[in-house]
Each structure stands twice: as structure tokens, then as C-alpha cells.
Structure 1
Amino acid sequence: MSEGTPSLLVFEQPLTERVRSFLRLELLFAQHRHHRRDHSQCGVRASLHSLLDLLVVISRSDLKSDIVKELSDQHLHLTRLAAQSAENREQLQGVLGELATAINGFQQLTTQFASALLRGSDFLVSVLNRSTIPGGTCGFDLPHFQHWLSQPYERIDRDLKAWFADLEPFERGIELYLRLLRASAPAETLSAQSGIYLHTPTGPCLLVRVHVKQSAEVYPEISAGRHRFTVRFMQVRDLATRAQQARVDIPFALQCCNL
């Protein structure tokens, strides 16, 4: 998940539904990793909820085929590149090894494994159905859940690892794909005159990345179409008032990423 540095913020706008799904999954995987470090009951609750969110997102479409296709295309492209030039060959071979490992990780997965896991577990379905209600997983609503939470952590950890096992290839594959995508284009230094910038890409673009200094105290609203997009920088004085477009020139950097 890209957040920039303490002095530089990076804002991203996906231009395809596939990249949008990958970014959402990247966030959910990061949340799950964070919550898994907390062994308290609140931490376990958050871990299970983030796990259920991952299963729901993956079960809604054929994301396995999508990510395997993207990784396979990159493996083919980089293989040709490595054969044509000796420059950076060692680095390319390292990335090719990562791609091969990620692709192989998907080979044992059935296409609808996430849906099958949810359908096959009354426990997971009951927690999922109640989790959309604020406070809906209280003990009086789900005594089975309360009983599970009261088990020794070793047993809870075993269950969480078993449910997450088939998600590990997705975590590795999506991390690798987004890393390659973000590194696919250099950052171009630009200026938004009176807080607005209109850009026409010279080629295909899957992901727009805007880098701006945190000290500027602005954030970008990115409106993207098929042939051009607009970056409008907004100023927030406090959260009680509506953000206003900046009226000064805003220096920033722009990446138009594509694989």
C-alpha cells in the first residue's frame, strides 16, 4: 500500500476496475496483517472481519484468472527483455523468479475457493451476516462466536491460519503486480496553476499517482476519463467546513503507470 514518506504524500487513482480491485485487496491484506499482531479479543475480532472482507471481495469475481493473466503477461514480457539485453539481467532474473513463484502459488487453487469456504462454514457465514450491523456480533447475538473467542489463542490462531491459507497467493501476487505497476513510470515534476492541472496521457494508463508535499496541506481530486484527466487540489482548513480549491500554484509530481 503506497502512502509516501512523512514529508511526501502519494494519492492514487485507478483507471480500470481490475486495478481498483487490486488496490482494495492490498488495503485489506495490510489491515489483516496489522490486526493479526493483536492477540486480544478485539484484535481477533478485527482479524476475522478483515479476513471475511477479503473472502467476500475475492468471491465476487474471477480475480484468480485476472491476477494470473497479469503476472503471466509480465513474465513473458520480462523474459523477452532479458533475452534481448544483458543490461540489468540479474535484476530481471530476480523479478522473473518472483513472478514464477507467485504464478505457481495459484496452481492448486480452485477458481471459486472463497465462495466454497464461505458456503461450507456456518460459523463464518453467521459472523459475516451479523458484521454488517453495528454491534451485531455481540455475544447475545452470536454465542457461538463468543465461545470461539474464549478459546486458547493457539486454537484461534490455528483456525485463522487455515482460513487464510488459500489467500496467501493473492497477497503475494497482488503485492508483486502493484509493485511493478508503480515502478513502471518515472515521476514527472509539474505545477498545478491556481490549484488545477489538466493532463493528456501520451499512451495507455492504468494508475495515476500524484505526489505532493505534506506541507502544502492539500489533497488532489482526480477526475479521469479515457483520453485525459484533471487533478484539482483542494485545501482543508478544518473538518467542519467544506474543502475549497486551492487558489495558488501547487508543485507536485505525476506518474502515469502502465504495464
Structure 2
Amino acid sequence: MICYELPLNEKIRMLLRLEDLFNKIDFFAVRETAFDHHTALTLLFEILDITSRSDLKSDLLQELDKQRAILESLRQNPQVSEAVLERLLLDIKSAFRGLLDIPGRIGSHLRDNEWLMNIKQRMGIPGGACEFDLPGYHYWLQTRSEVRQTDLEKWIEPFMPIRNGIDIVLNMLRNSGKTFNHVATQGLFQQAGSEHQAHLLRLHIDDNLPCVPEISANKYALNIRFLPLEATHKTSVYEEDFSFELTFCRL
């Protein structure tokens, strides 16, 4: 099965983008080649750009506090595991404290580094990070992989409170889901009404089906068109009936 996720508000969209960037930087930062570490630094600059344009820290603090209050209300519920509940509350408390301890603006340690900001500026130009444009960066890429990995860890580490908060919020969001089985009729599915209000939609379809979903949703209706992979224009649809799973997630 392939899972497609559609965020239904800007806050969740931003969290998913940051989650994706952090996962990718995990992969490249621990590898050893200069190309891998160049990619990791590029991803780090993307994280910096996204976190610079939002009230991410305050949004995460508010959401963590909201989830803490919800979990606290479940303490006397016999259907809830006390051990699991305590672990979740401790994770939220730790993430909340980490966010509060961030000094100043998110990513200020990078913005205050003139060398890194010069590299970032040049990377905004196609091919702008060549060795003749950035000889100092070229030198860094030729140092031992252990040196580069240590530097990357130092630059990534201050973002970890943000990442921890994002992981907790998205994990709780996904686990809140209510799943329904549906059938797409000749590549189309429609649902009217607001009984399934959500912040995130998760759609699972068989990975053997040669089509991808195009989803549009608001508080009044949900429309999904399944487009064939070889479609040359958006009016084409996958003209067969098939079943799929749709999960509505809400914080």
C-alpha cells in the first residue's frame, strides 16, 4: 500500500514539510561523501527558511500544551494504559521544555555565521556553489568526513527541540485517525457533508494501481480524482473501480 497525506491547513502543511526535510537530512548527514554533506547543508538551509517565516515555536508550544491537557483528563480512564500515558506526558513535557529553552529566534546560530550565510546566498544561484565561487566551502568539502559530520551535527542540534515537538504533534495527529473503506467509481470519489472534519487526510491505495490521487477538500465536501500515471492532461482519470482506505485525522 502507498500512503498519500493531504494537510488541510497551513500549520499541518508546514509541519509535514519540516518532517520531510529532517528525515532527509538524517539520511545525508551521517554519510561520508562531500556530495552527501553538500545535500545535507542544502536541506538545513531549507529548514532555516521555513522556520524563519512562521510562529512555529509558539504554535508548537500551544499544541503541546493542548495535548497535555487532553491526556491529563484521561488519567482515570480504565481503558487507557497508565504506563503509556505517563510516557507520552513525559515526552510532551521534555519537548515543551526544549522549545522554551531555545534562545531568541529559531536558527539564529546559523544566521550569525557569516560564512554559512555566504554559502546559503550563493546556493540560491543555479550552480553558484562551485569551487571558484566559494573556495572556503570547497576546502570544507575536502576535509575529512568526520570533521564535516561534526560540523553538521553542531549546526543541526539546535533545531532538535523543534523536531521533537513536530514528531510528537504529527504522531498524535496520525494516531487520532478514523479509517473508512471506500470504492472509487471509474477513478472518482466524492463525499459531501462535514461529519468527518479533519486536519489531515491519509489515503492508502494498492501500490500496483498505476494512478495517483488528486485531492481537494473543504468543510463542505471531499473530492478525489485518481489520475493515470501516463495522463497528458488533468481531465484524464483512471477509468476502473477499485477500493482504498481513507483516514480522517484531527487534533
User: TM-score per shorter chain, which class?
Assistant: over 0.9
- TM, length-normalised to structure 2: 0.93
**Shift of residue 52, structure 1, vs aligned partner:** 1.1
Q: Is the alpha carbon distance of 1:212 and 1:111 closer, same or farther for their aligned partners in structure 2, counting shifts above 3 Å?
A: farther
How far 1:86 sits from its partner (Å)?
Answer: 5.3
Is residue 237 of structure 1 aligned with residue 230 of structure 2?
yes
Q: In structure 1, which of residues 70, 73, 82 is the aligned counterpart of residue 75 of structure 2?
A: 82
Contact kept in structure 1, 2:184 and 2:243, CA below 8 Å = yes
Moved more, 8-17 or 163-172: 163-172
SS of equivalent residue, structure 1 residue 248: coil
| Amino acid in structure 2 at the alignment position of 1:51 | L
For residues 204 and 225 of structure 1, what CA distance do their matches in structure 2 show?
9
* CA–CA distance in structure 1, aligned partners of residues 207 and 157 of structure 2: 38
Partner of 1:168: 160
CA distance in 1, matches of 2:140, 2:176: 45
Gaps of 5+ in 2: none
Counterpart of 2:173 in 1: which secondary structure? helix
- Paired residue secondary structure (1:28): helix
Q: Kindly provide the amino acid, as one letter, of the partner of residue 135 in structure 1.
A: G
Report the counterpart of residue 18 of structure 2 in structure 1. Answer: 25
Deviation of residue 106 (structure 1)?
A: 1.1
Q: Which amino acid aligns with 1:138?
A: C
> 1:60 and 2:53 equivalent?
yes
| Partner residue in 2 for 1:226 | 219
State the alpha-carbon separation in 2 of the partners of residues 108 and 88 from structure 1.
30
Query: 2:61 & 2:81 partners in 1: Cα distance?
Result: 25
Instruction: Report the secondary structure of 2:208's partner residue.
Output: helix
- Give yes or no for the alignment of 1:251 onto 2:232: no
- Correspondence for 2:101: 108
Q: CA-atom RMSD, angstroms?
A: 1.7
How far did 1:83 drift?
A: 3.2
Matches within 5 A, 1:1-259: 8-85=1-78, 87-114=80-107, 116-199=108-191, 200-237=193-230, 241-242=232-233, 244-259=236-251
TM-score scaled by length of structure 1: 0.90
1:255 is paired with a residue whose SS is strand
- How far apart, in 1, do the equivalents of 2:162 and 2:219 lie? 28
Instruction: Structure 1 unaligned segments of length 5 or more: list them.
Output: 1-7
The number of aligned residues is 249
- Secondary structure in 2 aligned to 1:99? helix
CA shift, 1:120, in A, is 0.9
CA shift, 1:11, in A, is: 0.5
Deviations 1:26-75 (A, max 9, x none): 11001100101211111111111111111111111111111121111111
SS at match of 2:248: strand
Cα distance between partner residues in 2 of 1:224 and 1:111: 37
8 Å Cα contact 1:64-1:111 kept in structure 2: no
SS in 2 for 1:113: coil
Deviation at 1:251, TM superposition (A): 0.7
Change (3 A) 1:88 1:253: same
The separation in 1 between residues aligned to 2:213 and 2:233, in whole angstroms, is 14
AA at the equivalent of 1:16:
N
> 1:249 is matched by which residue type in structure 2?
D
Letter in 1 for 2:187: G
